[in-house]
Amino acid sequence: MWGDYFCSRAVGTSATGVLVVHHSSRCTFTIFHTIMNPILAEAINEQIRAEFHSAYIYLAMAAWANENNLPGTAHWLRMQWQEETLHATKFLDFLHSRNASVHLLAIDEPPRSYASLIDVFEHVLHHEQSITERINVLYDKAVEHRDRPLQILLQWFINEQVEEESQVQGILDQLKLVGSDGPSIFLLDRQFASRPAPATNPE
């Protein structure tokens, strides 16, 4: 929690949530640590589960794509699987940086089959929108509990979700344009194969 301090000025917050202040020769002061609120720690652990569940969903989608002769789509979804795993570990590392405990919670079995490629990406978009809502709720909790380091972390995720939804919406628009035309789907699938691997240390 943040304490009051006098005759000093803040110059920044460290990665571990320590408020760094300027010394004043005219008075005494205390440096306060931001202690992770248990409510927030529990919410982050739930978000870790949601991110790993996302990864599980995308890996199952990749398996479906492979089984339906869509190797480029399978590659794209595997990259998405990797990205969601990195998101989960980003939250996990944040908890450790705040001396909070990580609880890896059980995740549900993902769906195994889809009606079409459009159906796959409609599910992707819907899922990303649900993750966006979760991030927004978590951000509101961080504001409520005045946890500034968590707010900074979540702003990164908010920006990331805007990009995620925009990218998937663009893919859906392309798929709806080509419909069930086999050659066009083949060309789009080849494009999906060019998706690069996500950065291992996203900033």
Q: Residue 202 domain-assigned? A: no
Q: Residue 197 domain-assigned? A: no
Q: Is the pLDDT of residue 13 over 50?
A: no
Q: Residue 176 domain-assigned? A: yes
Position 192 scores a pLDDT of 97
Q: Residue 203 domain-assigned? A: no
Position 29 scores a pLDDT of 38
Q: Residue 24 domain-assigned? A: yes
Whether 1 and 86 map to the same domain: the answer is no
Structure confidence by residue, pLDDT tens digits, 92-137: 999 999 999 999 999 999 999 999 999 999 999 999 999 999 999 9
Domain that holds residue 133: 38-192
Whether 60 and 153 map to the same domain: the answer is yes
Q: Residue 172 domain-assigned? A: yes
Whether 154 and 185 map to the same domain: the answer is yes
Whether 75 and 12 map to the same domain: the answer is no
* Nearest alpha carbon to residue 12 among 4, 20, 1: 20
CATH number for the domain harbouring residue 62: 1.20.1260.10
What's the total number of domains in the chain?
2
Q: Residue 198 domain-assigned? A: no
CA distance 100 to 93: 10
Straight-line distance from the first to the last Cα atom of the chain, in angstroms, rounded to the nearest whole number = 26
Determine what percent of the chain is predicted with pLDDT higher than 90: 80
Whether 4 and 51 map to the same domain: the answer is no
CA distance 71 to 84: 20
